[in-house]
A and B are shown apart, each in its own frame.
Chain A
Amino acid sequence: MLPHAEMVHWAFASGILFVGLCLLCEAIVGQEVWRMRPWRKYLWPGVAFSMGVLLWPVMAFFTNSSIHMYAHGSWAEVLMLAGGAELGLVHGRLKSPLWRLTWPIAFAVTGLAFIVHEQNPWFFARSAFLHHLLGWTFLLGAIVPLALVWRPRSAALQACMAFTIVAVAVMLFTDRDVAPVFGHLSPLAGPEHR
């Protein structure tokens, strides 16, 4: 017996929101202050890596459509990769800042997976609208971590990155809301079933 789709969206939205808020705090107070306590530098990369690991159960247990299985699997991998690379960098095991390219790659792969696995147009239903919005937010937002590879100290870029991730979390919270707030945008979407 699997829990409802809302549960996983909310659980992962919570994790993504946590990461976004950590990044926002880091952007506001600056990296030196944020890292005054040593564990803090591992906090959001560790949560990102853990979310990647925890997406594997979602991939493996969700088998009522092939394309969703592949989408969940790709998210699991890129989150583990990007989170792991960031952990390696903050710990000092990885030296090259080019490892931060894993973040724009993760954003691009995630965005593409969102868009490809949603075949309905934007205004078909709320979930279709939000899938497109999430997909394009990730795709366009990939520019921010890409720029951060070369301008890692830029407070503006750090804040942009944080706000992008917070926005993604908010979209995920609304994507599977049980309340029928503008649930079906098109009559073709059939009767509301919630």
Chain B
Amino acid sequence: MRRALLVAALVALAVPAVASAHATLRFTTPTFGHELQRGPTRVVLHFDQAVRVVPSSIKVLNGVGDQFALSTHVAGQDVVARVAPLKLGAYTVRWRAISADSHVVSGVWTFGVRVPAPPVADAYGAGGPTVAEHVVRWAWFLGLALAIGSLGFRVICLRGLAVPRVLERKIAVASGLGVVITIHAGIVAFSLRAEDALQLPFGDFLYGDLSPMAATRFGRAFVVMTLGFALVLALVYLSWLLDRSDLLVPAFALSVLFAGGLSWSGHDALDPGSSWKTAIADWVHIAAASVWIGGLATMAGLLWYGAPELRRSAFANFSRMATVLIALVLGAGSYLSIARLPHLSDLWTQGYGRVLLVKVGLVCLALAWGAFHHFVIRPALDRADAGFLARIGRSLVGESLVGVAVLLVAAVLVDSKPPIRGSDQPHGGVATTLRP
């Protein structure tokens, strides 16, 4: 009975919902991201409460910024704008209204007339990725590598070894920190993408409606990854609290699984020429690189000086694991390069290709360093003295830093647009993007 009451109390808490003090947009006509066969004669926004309109409350813009919305009026909880006849193409709707509590609420969405609607991140006026987005993406990759790598290192490389409690705690802290960085970087990345689409001053952005952005593939990936990594954080914490290292196994599996959110919403899942195979290859590429770089950093930063008695076994185990991971990284990376770059000359003629060349160069450096560790250091490890082991630690830190640099270039690469295959352009070459 008592257990039932406890379960009932917990279930009562497990109902997610929303909290809002301002007018909330319930639905629109046309709906977010809809492809229409004919241009709409009016645009309707339905709110959960009455709102007031401001001049140009609703704008309907084409790819060059021409305005098609005519007069706007309020009808009950609806805001209605008449729309001039629309030709074939993609359109952006930008709206602003005054909520009952006097706050200005705003939003944006896209639709298409006989063409697919572009993602809301490509709405007219959006500028595309900035340096801030590159930095945030890098932080995202670093967090992911720290979380997945430290968990993978503990679960795979230290399996069956007597791990000191201090090292267990340090690994739990590192993986928890990685998860927190991943969640925060995800929130910032989502906000930056939404801010770019909404094109609002910061004060208005705070009350901006992000639901069209949440309805995109990127938004859904953000939701799934945030929830998934919150669960991973809880598992890592419980593993430390209860001294149950077996809980790190599901935490590792889930973190690898949810890292796929990036692939599911990126170029390899959405761009022309992409397929489920490119999305899976991208996921394998990201996950394997994260385990490799994060695991290396964990070994260099936490184990090498924190648990010297485990150096030899952990190094040997990591070396074996790294061989598999590098094979996966190279295999998936080569496949994606071929899929993304139709011509070899794209490597030096396209911006995307040049960034890829830099990344390949850094990966080659990391591979050479790793090969030196694998083929030279590992056989010499058994007869190594303390001074030699300390130098290996510094060498591992160096290799980890190259890995961090690889992640930085990867962040720029992910935010860059790969060249589009000429034969794969949709709808006979009609542009479906609104971004200038």
Answer yes or no: do A and B interact.
yes
Interface pair A128/B21, CB less than 8 Å apart:
yes
> Do the beta carbons of A64 and B209 come within 8 Å of each other?
yes
Alpha-carbon distance A191/B12, docked complex (angstroms): 32
Q: How large is the interface on B (under 10, 10 to 19, 20 to 34, 35 or more residues)?
A: 35 or more
* B residues adjacent to A (C-beta < 8 A): 9-10, 12-22, 24-25, 48-50, 77, 100-103, 105, 187, 191, 194, 205-211, 213-214, 219, 222-223, 226-227, 230-231, 233-234, 237, 240-242
Q: Which residues of A contact B25 (CB under 8 A)?
A: 64
Whether the Cβ atoms of A62 and B50 lie closer than 8 Å is no
A191 touches B50 (CB 8 A): yes
**Is A88 interfacial (CB-CB < 8 Å)?**
yes
Chain B residues with Cβ below 8 Å from A38 are none
Known contacts A176-B19, A193-B50; is-contact A66 B100 (Cβ 8 Å): no
Chain A residues with CB under 8 Å of chain B are: 2-5, 7-9, 11-12, 14-15, 18, 47, 49-51, 53-54, 56-70, 72-73, 76, 80, 84, 87-88, 91, 93, 117-120, 124-125, 127-128, 131, 176, 188-191, 193
B22 touching A65 by the CB < 8 A rule? yes
Q: Is B227's CB under 8 angstroms from A60's CB?
A: yes
From B15, B48, B209, B211, A11 is in contact (CB under 8 Å) with: B15
A59 touches B48 (CB 8 A): no
A88 CA / B22 CA spacing, docked (Å): 39
Q: Chain A's interface: helix, strand, loop or mixed, by majority?
A: helix
- The reply to whether A4 and B209 form a contact with Cβ atoms under 8 Å apart is no
**B99 nearest CB across to chain A (Å):** 8
- Quick check: A193 and B48 within 8 Å, CB to CB? yes
Determine if A4 and B100 form an interchain contact, defined as CB atoms under 8 angstroms apart: no
A120 CA to B10 CA, complexed, in Å: 34
Cα-based distance from A27 to B227 in the complex (angstroms): 35
Contact of A66 among B13, B205, B240 (CB under 8 A): B205
> Given A66-B205, A67-B206, are A120 and B18 also a contact pair (CB < 8 Å)?
no
- Given the known interface contacts A63-B211, A188-B102, the answer about A87 and B241 at a Cβ–Cβ threshold of 8 Å is yes
Tell me if B210 and A65 are in contact (CB < 8 A): yes
Q: Which residues of B contact A131 (CB under 8 A)?
A: 21
Q: How far is the CA of A69 from the CA of B105 in the complex (A)?
A: 15
Are B20 and A62 closer than 8 Å at their CB atoms? Answer: yes
B100 contact set on A, CB distance < 8 A:
189-191, 193
A73 to B183, CA, bound (A): 10
